[in-house]
Structure 1
Amino acid sequence: MARADDDRLWDLARIERAALVKDLETLDAEQWRHATLCGRWDVEEVVAHLTASGSVGSWRWFRSMIGAGFRTDVHNQRRMEEHRGSDPAETLERFRAVVDSTTAPSSHTPAYLGEVVVHAQDIRRPLGLAHRPSVEASTPVAEFFVRQNFTVSSRTHAAGLRLSADDGPFEAGEGPLVTGSTLALVMGMAGRDAYLDELDGPGAALLRSQVRAAADHR
């Protein structure tokens, strides 16, 4: 990836992290304990995970994965616990400290932008928070997700489908058409069932079945 493109993606990640900080500043104690779209983690745990994502470079990631027996879920749980504070206020301060971070385990910058885009909505959607990531931020994530299974099985979910955003330039794949906002396509590829009803077209049912089939095999 060209340096200019990489810098642009990190700038977008900073913007989305900062927007999430503003939303988190409004939460009360009960909301910090609220369930999210990210499995069993509550809001504070997802925020701690995002702090870990902005704090762990390649060497620390490799050591952590070795220690976890290359089990990603164990690695993620340990690093989340490491970066969670003694209370939500401290957890938020730790996340605020990595808003400008460009630390990551690898050079897959669109994936780390995707971490922020997806996990921010994992938090916002259940809480009814209105902010949505920009189309500019969501588009490179969609382009990456449709090509690779990385932190999520996005390529598997989108296999055999043509995806087309109705609010931006993203379009990829061949097969039955699935249309919707760039964000809904990103979240659908990320396996977030809550966003599948925002998608239309003859391929929407197939995407839904592929997401649910993948979830059943975890």
Structure 2
Amino acid sequence: MTALWPFVRAERLALLADLEPLAADAWEQPSLCAGWTVHDVLAHLVDVARTSVPRFVLTMARARFDFDRQNQDGVDRERGATPAETLERWRAVVDLRRSPPAPRVTRLVEEIVHGEDVRRPLGIARAYDPGAVADAFGWQVRTSEAMGGTRQTVSGLTLAATDADLVHGDGPRVEGRALDLLLVSAGRTVVLDDLAGPGVSTLRERFAARG
């Protein structure tokens, strides 16, 4: 697997560099993460970077074991009064090596997918490490929807990258860039328009049924 913490640190610094020049109104741009702005997503990333196993257990208990509520509590806690304040909090966690009780590959998913959640609406492009994208994709398509994956959603379909040696599944094909396949495997349906193949219509129907 991709060397985890050096990758995470590099991605945190890259996101910091991309967000520092933003105009004030860009921070309120809706992200790809439903219901959250660009500012909200960065606050979430700060919260996750600070989350150790004991902190995760404590915050989950306070949220009455509602994962969505726990995430929103984290955004509310770490979102500064201004974007500059949140950026300073992000800068302060760049070197942290903490993780909630989840497989470490999920840290790759977190950095790449949330990185795209803010970059795409802002028109910012980034080339991610191909190995990290492949590792993150492999985790997502084998993980159940209840745990944030798309195992059932992509069942019976072949997802094949057009820019990498990356293929998963068996059935009607869904083709696109490896990064776009990762994003759709993380439930970002906005990238469906960038995918091709006879399996795309099935994917659309399945996501629509999920609501």
Shorter-normalised TM-score: what interval? over 0.9
Q: Where do residues 1-218 of structure 1 align in structure 2 (5 Å cutoff)?
A: 5=1, 8-149=3-144, 151-214=147-210, 216=211
The DSSP-based 3-state class of the residue aligned with 2:174 is: strand
Rounded Cα–Cα distance in structure 2 between residues aligned with 1:96 and 1:159 = 40
TM-score, length-normalised on structure 1?
0.90
2:64 partner letter? G
TM-score, length-normalised on structure 2?
0.93
Are 2:141 and 2:149, in contact at CA under 8 Å, matched by a contact in 1? no
Q: Which residues of structure 2 form unaligned runs of 5+?
A: none
1:166 partner letter? T
Rounded Cα–Cα distance in structure 1 between residues aligned with 2:47 and 2:120 = 22
Q: Cα offset for 1:151? A: 5.0
Q: Deviations along 1:100-133, whole A, 9 cap, x unmatched?
A: 3221112411112111111111111111112243
RMSD across aligned C-alpha pairs, in angstroms?
Answer: 1.6
- Runs of 4+ aligned residues of structure 1 deviating over 6 Å after TM superposition are none
69 and 76 in structure 1: CA distance in 2 versus 1, 3 angstrom threshold: same
2:109 partner letter? G
Q: How many residues align?
A: 210
Q: Cα offset for 1:15? A: 1.9
Rounded Cα–Cα distance in structure 1 between residues aligned with 2:106 and 2:209 = 23
Are 1:179 and 1:200, in contact at CA under 8 Å, matched by a contact in 2? yes
Rounded Cα–Cα distance in structure 1 between residues aligned with 2:52 and 2:82 = 25
Q: Which residues of structure 1 form unaligned runs of 5+?
A: none
The DSSP-based 3-state class of the residue aligned with 2:151 is: helix
Rounded Cα–Cα distance in structure 1 between residues aligned with 2:42 and 2:187 = 19
Question: What is the identity percentage for the equivalent residue pairs of Structure 1 and Structure 2?
Answer: 39
